[in-house]
């Protein structure tokens, strides 16, 4: 985990051990990129949760910075999630994605009709490490 306000040195120590999955706030991730603690040039997947809220709160410059440090859109998967999708997500520059698919769910579903499905996909045979 990479987030502000807590255990900077401890986070760096965990990251330096090597990670396959890094979850973090934009500010802390940018800080680590600028210091050379992490490198995003081999990243395969970028996930932004509550993407429209991030744009509303003024994080678009931070997001663009991180996207520029990552492989080009044709070489990575970018996922944006939001419960309240606004037009801002649809108006992101093409530099962030090549092709977009929007999955819209109905406004409300009763819990008794919600289905849960899990799919397992083949992955690398190495163990994934997450901090």
**Using one digit for the tens of pLDDT, what is the confidence trace for 21-76?**
888 888 888 999 999 999 999 889 888 887 777 777 888 889 889 989 999 888 88
pLDDT at 94: 43
CATH of 8-100, one of 3.40.470.10, 3.40.50.300, 3.10.450.50, 2.40.70.10: 3.40.50.300
pTM score, two decimals?
0.64
**Using one digit for the tens of pLDDT, what is the confidence trace for 3-14?**
677 778 888 888
Q: Which residues are CB-neighbours of 44 under 8 A, at least 6 positions away?
A: 71, 76, 77
Burial class of 105 by CB neighbour count within 10 A (0 to 12, 13 to 18, 19+): exposed
Q: How many CB atoms lie within 10 A of CB 73?
A: 16
């Amino acid at each position: 985990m990479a987030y502000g306000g807590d255990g900077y040195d401890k986070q760096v120590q965990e990251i330096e051990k090597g990670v396959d999955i890094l979850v973090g706030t934009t500010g802390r991730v940018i800080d680590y990129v600028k210091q050379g603690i992490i490198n995003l040039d081999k990243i395969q997947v970028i996930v932004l949760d509550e993407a429209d809220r991030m744009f509303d709160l003024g994080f678009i410059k931070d997001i663009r910075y991180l996207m520029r440090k990552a492989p080009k859109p044709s070489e990575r998967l970018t996922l944006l999630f939001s419960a309240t999708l606004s037009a801002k997500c649809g108006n992101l520059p093409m530099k962030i994605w090549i092709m977009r698919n929007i999955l819209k769910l109905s406004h409300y579903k009763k819990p008794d009709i919600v289905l849960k499905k899990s799919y397992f996909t083949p992955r690398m045979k190495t163990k994934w490490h997450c901090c």
